Amino acid sequence: MIHIKDHKSAYLFDPWGHLGPKRRKLMNTSWAGLFREKILCQLPVEKLIPFFSFGFGRPTKELYTLLGVLILQQMHDLFDTETVEQLAFNLQWHYALDILNPCDTDTYMCAKTLWSVRKIVTEHKLEQVLFEKVVDVLAKDFSVDTRTQRLDSVHIRSNMRHLGRIGIFARSIHKFLINLKRQHKDLFASLSEALLERYLSKKALSAFSLVKPTEAAKTLSQVSTDLYTLCQHFKDEPRVTGMSSYHLLLRVLEEQCTINTSDSAQADEEPRTVSVKPPKEIPSDSLQNPSDPDATYDGHKGQGYQVQVMETYTRQKDEKTLNLITHVAVEQAHQSDANALIPALQSTHDRGCAPCEVLADSLYGSDENCSQAKEMGVEVVSPTMGAPYKSCKALSDFEFSEEGKVIRCPQGYAPIKYKIKNGRHRVGFDSITCSNCPLVSECPVKPGKKYYYLRFDEKSLRIALRRAQENSEDFIDRYRFRAGVEATMSEYDARTGVKHLRVRGLKAVRFCAVLKAIGINIHRATAVRRAIHVLMGAKEAAHSAYFVVHLYTFNTMCYFKERFRSGIREFLDIFTNSRYKQVFEFKMAA
């Protein structure tokens, strides 16, 4: 049965009045107050309803609480046991999740329930729905300006051990033998004792990790031969070929080895030997660890995954402005950053938070990406890939008009002939002038029949114009804000531990990384909300002080005014005295 609580209706009486004004203020200005007020009631619990029954089984845990706990666990980087304890005893969690009844039904959740709902969210990619919903709520509530954004990637690792090539072979064989022993003992018994002793003894795997460098080649040849032998031994056994661990053996064999046939062997005979491929021939998406088949290799950062992160930014430093992460995408480590820009722009465009300007590294700013982004109404501010030789002149050293035509060469000479055909430019310069130019050996202008010609296409022109613009003060002033995304990556890891996750597999890694990004947005929104409250409190204090000063001034004026009136009354009383009145009348008559 489905249990859902209505968190949108207000309470007739304040259920949290027992906290007191000071603790209540701390609670409201913390992340718990923001989560309870803005996020909890907007969680997409309708996505969980199809996985439960309305009329069968015992009641579920409250669905808003289920999704909220998943976010808070990744936000605070907690184990499952720690999450259960926080839900049971932490008053901040109760306030954030709007839990009023401290009974076990509302405040206790077993680890199995947490694991089950996490599996549902992971298998159906609901973490992206959660992320988009929270981003939309925060962007609307804090009036986030999404016109300027910046994009970068961060390398992360799953809970797997770093293995060399020998370790990959040994772990794959060990995993296969363990599964074979559990599922098919009769087939396991058909293997040789020497093979089983090498990979299943107590010190087998540790022995492979202690191989001396001088013996590495011999050991690598041994484990590759054993792996090939196992693949050939069970290739016609249907019960084995369907095992996932057997498929890992085949994958390692294909990626790491070359199967050789002797010269004397016939075409229909089977290969007899296997050799290990050179490291340069191994693809970057090869198996890095049998415990995490989805992890791949990046030549610069190593094994694991990468997360593409795009966030908003402002050029003025203002604590009341929220820098919001608008896009998160988890990829395998071998994926190029050049393929991440357009999906990020499309994702934000579909949700109504697309940028008009994006700051990114040179890998994102390829000519193809810039052209596609321009069609989407987005300007990509990024350095061009590569750089011209310093000892030679490049197309960017020429002077161009607003229409993209060459006006002058680096020496200041104008062309005497210009032709454009099928997007290709052919610019002719005077032969005598170019032949006597001191830069003729470094210039891209080459001699022809009548002129010295400069030839280039539209792509080369666009790159040249971009390269020439990189030296301008406007580009430098705009691009300097890209460095701020590095601080976001540091915060992403320091607050949530995203670079070293406790899970394996692309689905689980994606779930954790996306929900941790939600946590960063909540932390940032809390800081902005607190700064706004402090500013509002300062204004109220200033208004109070202004009122007090004016009240004091008014009281002072009233005091002196009253003293003046008293003096007038005393004077009139004295004047009306008969004696002084007679003296006054006598002097007036005189």
Higher pLDDT, 585 or 423: 423
Q: Would you place residue 589 in the very low, low, confident or very high pLDDT band (cuts 50, 70, 90)?
A: low
The reported pTM is 0.84
Domain boundaries, the chain: 1-124, 165-281, 395-466, 546-589
* CA distances in angstroms from 571 to 563, 566, 567, 578, 585, listed in the order given: 12, 9, 6, 13, 16
Residue 550 tokens, joined:
């004016």
Lowest mean pLDDT among 218-227, 337-346, 384-393, 521-530: 384-393
Which residue matches tokens 């599996």?
119
- 3-state DSSP assignment of residue 487: helix
Higher pLDDT, 92 or 14: 92
Digit-coded pLDDT (tens) for 239-257: 999 999 999 999 999 999 9
Residue 182 tokens, joined:
């559990």
Q: CB neighbours (10 Å) of residue 329? A: 19
Lowest mean pLDDT among 130-144, 263-277, 491-505: 263-277
CA dihedral angle for residue 287, residue 288, residue 290, residue 295, rounded to 10 degrees: -80
Mean predicted confidence (pLDDT) in 558-572: 57
Rounded Cα distance, 534 and 527, in Å: 11
Rounded Cα distance, 210 and 219, in Å: 11
> Phi/psi of residue 273, each to 5°?
-130, 160
pLDDT at residue 584, as a whole number? 46
User: Do 265 and 272 touch, CB atoms closer than 8 A?
Assistant: yes
User: Do 467 and 394 touch, CB atoms closer than 8 A?
Assistant: yes
Q: Is 170 exposed, middle or buried (0-12, 13-18, 19+ CB in 10 A)?
A: buried
pLDDT at residue 583, as a whole number? 47
Digit-coded pLDDT (tens) for 110-157: 999 999 999 999 999 999 999 999 999 999 999 999 999 999 999 999
Mean predicted confidence (pLDDT) in 318-325: 88
